[in-house]
């Protein structure tokens, strides 16, 4: 607690709060614009933080992630087009509410639920990460190798519709991570004589290419269709249509509490992601309701359930990253680059080596939640206008920002080549359903996986039977096999868009899910 | 999607075999004696890719005729491929201008090229937008962050 107070001392100054607010605002706008999610926003903005102090930089990036998760509800409610897939269940009831002239009410409830889910989940992160990290320090390379393997398999198996494609994407991610100087023997690997590749492929240009430019290419191909969907915020005649009433608060608070819990648990488990959290929460709320048939027609509880879980996933998905050094989501994978850049290596040791910076990050996260409420509330109408901007004006601006972001990583045009190379890979991965999330996570954990694999071979003396001395590792190997077997037999959660169609019993929310 | 899966699976098998047979042996030294070969992990990953891609191909060939109607449409439209090609051309022009003229010209061509490629024809927008964006970036880096784009 005292460390957290010191963290607040460091964060509560105008300069740091300004950058956190910039991050939240930027994230809110990016989240509201369909297709530009939190991962894209953070990847593009990492180079902008090179020149900021560590606390302001990390606060800004976390602000983007939080703002984006909340902002995606705006387009879900006003356009029936979720800014991110995880807001698809928000559209199920939010859009009908907007059609009934209650857009402001839905937007406000979405914002309140987002902030509460996000704030409570941040507290859970603060409470859980350090104790878990203490246990993580007790495990050795053999266990780490099997945990990483399990995480990658789990994420690969759950991402996209095909487990085989997910695993291929993960393997390719690890493969690309091996480019550059090998850590033990200092042998160059697949550099093709290019000095720029000796240090390996840079994550930021790769992530910008795969996430942002590839998405822009896909959207540019559908620009006419997407631009035809107009946003409108219709004000109701009465105050009751514009504000959240006390009776609605009473109905929604238990829903928000349940959504926050579901989102937090889902966030801790690697690979499940915000979409699973929001759909599980929406489904649980609908099931617990006395009038489930009314869901999909404009129930305010539906918005509260989806948004609280969606936003709770973001902070809790940092728990495996902070406690074990394992990114459980694409945003965590990208944030690793930012954390390392600013002197904080995610993993169990950071609580011992950088306690003050960790406390600063926690304080910045809590401040970002409060700023999210202020920015979201005051800027609601403005953000509703932003999403009316035609894509043909947005895409060129995003392409320019991507280029600057990739270039700033190394101040070399080579970064642009890397970005373009992975744009092509990201484009085809998107269209052919090879999970780029798994690819990126495989790329990020690749070096750690290889290092722990080397150490494992030496510790086990190249004899598989010696694994019996490492029961935790055996458990994770069995879990990996079980996941492959279970999901390979088709026992896999439905994709978000399929779940949306299931809940509505009709067509899925249109557009850019 | 089934046809696309077969094609992408075959391409990945060929890519994996090329890596295993040519690129990895040519681009990675065997490493010193007594240490794990630097080729091991890349080779293992390519082995996994080849095996899983083969499985993908076989599964999709066996599933012939059992495909849902909505999956029969090609996953990539011509418009999307055209958009990707246009973005490639814009970046090629931008890189050329960066190398021959200046970063400013490269930035301008990305915005103007993007606008033109997406159908924007209003002269005011074509002039004002790159000017506004480049000024904003200049202000952000040179004035707010106190650095330069070099």
Kindly provide the ipTM of the predicted complex, given to two decimals.
0.94
Domains of chain B: total:
2
Which residues touch A513 (CB under 8 Å, ≥6 apart)?
A81, A82, A85, A88, A496, A497, A500
- Each residue's pLDDT tens digit, B117-133: 998 889 999 999 999 99
Indicate the residue of A48, A192, A400 with minimum beta-carbon distance to B133.
A400
Q: Which tops the pLDDT comparison, A99 or B128?
A: B128
Q: Measured between alpha carbons, how far is A400 from A412 in angstroms, rounded to an integer? A: 16
Spell out the alpha helix ranges (H) of A137-229. 141-158, 163-177, 203-207, 214-221, 223-227
Are A172 and B49 within 8 A, CB to CB?
yes
Query: How much is the pLDDT for A250?
Result: 92
CB neighbourhood size of B69 (10 A):
6
User: Does A399 lie at the interface with B, CB-CB under 8 angstroms?
Assistant: yes
Q: Are residues B114 and B89 in the same domain?
A: yes
pLDDT > 70? residue A262? yes
Query: How much is the pLDDT for A505?
Result: 47
Residue B117, domain extent: 78-144
Query: How much is the pLDDT for A409?
Result: 75
**CA distances in angstroms from A474 to A144, A193, A466, listed in the order given:** 12, 41, 10
CB neighbourhood size of B93 (10 A):
16
Angle, nearest 10°, between helix axes A103-136 and A300-316? Answer: 30
pLDDT > 60? residue A491? no
Instruction: Give the residue on B whose Cα is nearest the Cα of A450.
Output: B41
Q: Which tops the pLDDT comparison, A101 or B40?
A: B40
Are A174 and B80 within 8 A, CB to CB?
no
Confidence of residue B67 (pLDDT cuts 50, 70, 90): low
Instruction: Give the residue on B whose Cα is nearest the Cα of A179.
Output: B42
Q: If you average pLDDT over every residue of chain A, what do you get?
A: 84
Q: Are residues B60 and B84 in the same domain?
A: no
Q: Which tops the pLDDT comparison, A197 or A75?
A: A197
Distance from the Cα of B48 to chain A's closest Cα (Å) equals: 7
Are A184 and B36 within 8 A, CB to CB?
yes
Q: Are residues B37 and B85 in the same domain?
A: no
Q: Measured between alpha carbons, how far is A482 from A465 in angstroms, rounded to an integer? A: 20
Q: Are residues B52 and B91 in the same domain?
A: no
Indicate the residue of B38, B91, B107 with minimum beta-carbon distance to A182.
B38
- A265-274, A278-287, A411-420, B92-101: range with lowest mean pLDDT: A265-274
Give the domain ranges of chain A.
Answer: 2-492
Query: How much is the pLDDT for A60?
Result: 92
Instruction: Give the residue on B whose Cα is nearest the Cα of A217.
Output: B84
Domain boundary among B51, B72, B93: B72
Q: Are residues B62 and B116 in the same domain?
A: no
User: Does A162 lie at the interface with B, CB-CB under 8 angstroms?
Assistant: yes
Are B28 and A391 within 8 A, CB to CB?
no
A/B interface, count of CB pairs below 8 Å: 171
Q: Are residues B62 and B8 in the same domain?
A: yes
Indicate the residue of A168, A175, A223 with minimum beta-carbon distance to B52.
A168
Q: Are residues B68 and B107 in the same domain?
A: no
Q: Are residues B26 and B88 in the same domain?
A: no
Are A400 and B111 within 8 A, CB to CB?
yes
Q: Measured between alpha carbons, how far is A110 from A306 in angstroms, rounded to an integer? A: 8
- Each residue's pLDDT tens digit, A160-177: 678 899 999 999 999 999
Q: Are residues B93 and B128 in the same domain?
A: yes
Are B111 and A396 within 8 A, CB to CB?
yes
Confidence of residue A510 (pLDDT cuts 50, 70, 90): very low
Distance from the Cα of A124 to chain B's closest Cα (Å) equals: 34
Q: Are residues B45 and B24 in the same domain?
A: yes
Q: Are residues B30 and B87 in the same domain?
A: no
pLDDT > 80? residue A504? no
| Model pTM score | 0.81
Confidence of residue A494 (pLDDT cuts 50, 70, 90): low
Residue B150 lies in a domain: no
Residue B97 lies in a domain: yes
Nearest to A44 by CA among A30, A55, A28: A30
User: Does A389 lie at the interface with B, CB-CB under 8 angstroms?
Assistant: no
Residue B149 lies in a domain: no
Domain boundary among B20, B54, B72: B72
Query: How much is the pLDDT for A506?
Result: 43
Query: How much is the pLDDT for A167?
Result: 92
Query: How much is the pLDDT for A261?
Result: 94
- Each residue's pLDDT tens digit, A380-399: 777 777 767 788 888 898 89
Q: Are residues B68 and B10 in the same domain?
A: yes
- Residues above pLDDT 70, as percent of chain A: 90
Chain B neighbors of A185, CB-CB under 8 A? 31-32, 35, 38
Nearest to A126 by CA among A371, A370, A351, A342: A351
Strand A180-181 versus strand A188-189 pairing type: antiparallel
Confidence of residue B58 (pLDDT cuts 50, 70, 90): very high
């Amino acid at each position: 607690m005292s460390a957290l107070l010191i963290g607040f001392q460091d964060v509560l100054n105008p300069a740091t709060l300004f950058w956190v607010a910039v991050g939240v605002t930027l994230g809110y706008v990016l989240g509201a614009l369909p297709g530009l999610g939190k991962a894209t926003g953070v990847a593009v903005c990492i180079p902008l933080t090179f020149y900021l102090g560590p606390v302001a930089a990390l606060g800004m990036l976390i602000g983007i992630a939080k703002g984006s998760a909340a902002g995606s509800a705006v387009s879900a409610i006003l356009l029936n087009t979720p800014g991110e897939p995880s807001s698809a269940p928000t559209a199920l009831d939010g859009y009908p509410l907007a059609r009934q002239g209650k857009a402001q009410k839905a937007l406000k409830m979405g914002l309140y639920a987002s902030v509460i889910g996000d704030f409570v989940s941040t507290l859970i992160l603060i409470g859980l990460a350090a104790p878990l990290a203490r246990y993580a320090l007790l495990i050795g390379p053999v266990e780490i190798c099997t945990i990483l393997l399990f995480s990658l398999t789990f994420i690969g198996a759950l991402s996209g519709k095909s487990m085989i494609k997910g695993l291929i994407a993960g393997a390719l991610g690890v493969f690309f991570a091996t480019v550059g100087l090998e850590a033990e023997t200092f042998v160059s690997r697949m550099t093709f004589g290019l000095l720029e590749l000796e240090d390996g492929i840079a994550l930021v240009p790769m992530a910008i290419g795969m996430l942002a430019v590839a998405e822009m290419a896909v959207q540019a191909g559908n620009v006419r269709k997407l631009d035809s969907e107009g946003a409108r915020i219709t004000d109701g005649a009465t105050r009751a249509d514009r504000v959240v009433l006390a009776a609605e608060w009473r109905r929604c608070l238990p829903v928000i509490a349940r959504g926050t819990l579901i989102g937090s648990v889902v966030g801790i488990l690697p690979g499940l992601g915000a979409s699973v959290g929001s759909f599980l929460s929406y489904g649980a709320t609908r099931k617990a309701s006395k009038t489930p048939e009314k869901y999909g027609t404009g129930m305010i509880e539906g918005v509260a359930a989806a948004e609280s879980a969606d936003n709770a996933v973001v902070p809790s998905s940092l728990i495996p990253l902070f406690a074990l050094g394992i990114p459980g989501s694409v945003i965590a994978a990208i944030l690793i680059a930012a954390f390392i850049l600013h002197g904080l290596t995610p993993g169990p040791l950071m609580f011992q080596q950088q306690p003050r910076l960790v406390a600063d990050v926690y304080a910045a996260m809590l401040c970002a939640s409060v700023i999210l409420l202020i920015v979201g509330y005051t800027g609601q109408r403005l953000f509703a206008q932003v999403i009316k901007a035609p894509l043909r004006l947005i895409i060129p601006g995003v392409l320019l920002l991507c280029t600057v972001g990739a270039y700033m990583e190394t101040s070399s045009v080579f970064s642009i080549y890397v970005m373009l190379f992975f744009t092509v890979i990201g484009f085809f991965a998107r269209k052919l359903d090879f999970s780029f999330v798994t690819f990126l996570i495989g790329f990020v954990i690749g070096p750690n996986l290889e290092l722990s694999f080397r150490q494992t071979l030496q510790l086990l003396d190249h004899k598989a039977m010696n694994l019996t001395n490492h029961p935790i590792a055996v458990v994770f190997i069995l879990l990996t096999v079980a996941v492959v077997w279970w999901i390979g037999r088709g026992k896999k959660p439905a994709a978000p868009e399929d779940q949306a169609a299931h809940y509505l019993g009709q067509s899925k929310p249109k557009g850019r899910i | 999607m089934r046809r696309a899966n077969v094609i992408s699976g075959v391409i990945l098998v060929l890519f994996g075999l090329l890596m295993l047979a040519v690129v990895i042996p040519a681009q990675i030294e065997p490493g010193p004696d007594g240490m794990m070969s630097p080729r091991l992990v890349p080779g293992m990953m390519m082995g996994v890719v080849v095996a899983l891609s083969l499985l993908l191909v076989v599964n999709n060939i066996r599933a012939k005729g059992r495909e849902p109607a909505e999956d029969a449409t090609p996953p990539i439209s011509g418009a999307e491929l055209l958009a990707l090609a246009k973005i490639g051309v814009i970046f090629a022009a931008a890189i050329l201008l960066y190398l021959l003229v200046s970063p400013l010209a490269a930035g301008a061509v990305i915005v103007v090229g993007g606008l033109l490629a997406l159908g924007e024809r209003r002269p005011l927008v074509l002039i004002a937008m790159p000017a506004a964006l480049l000024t904003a970036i200049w202000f952000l880096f040179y004035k707010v962050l106190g650095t330069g784009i070099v």
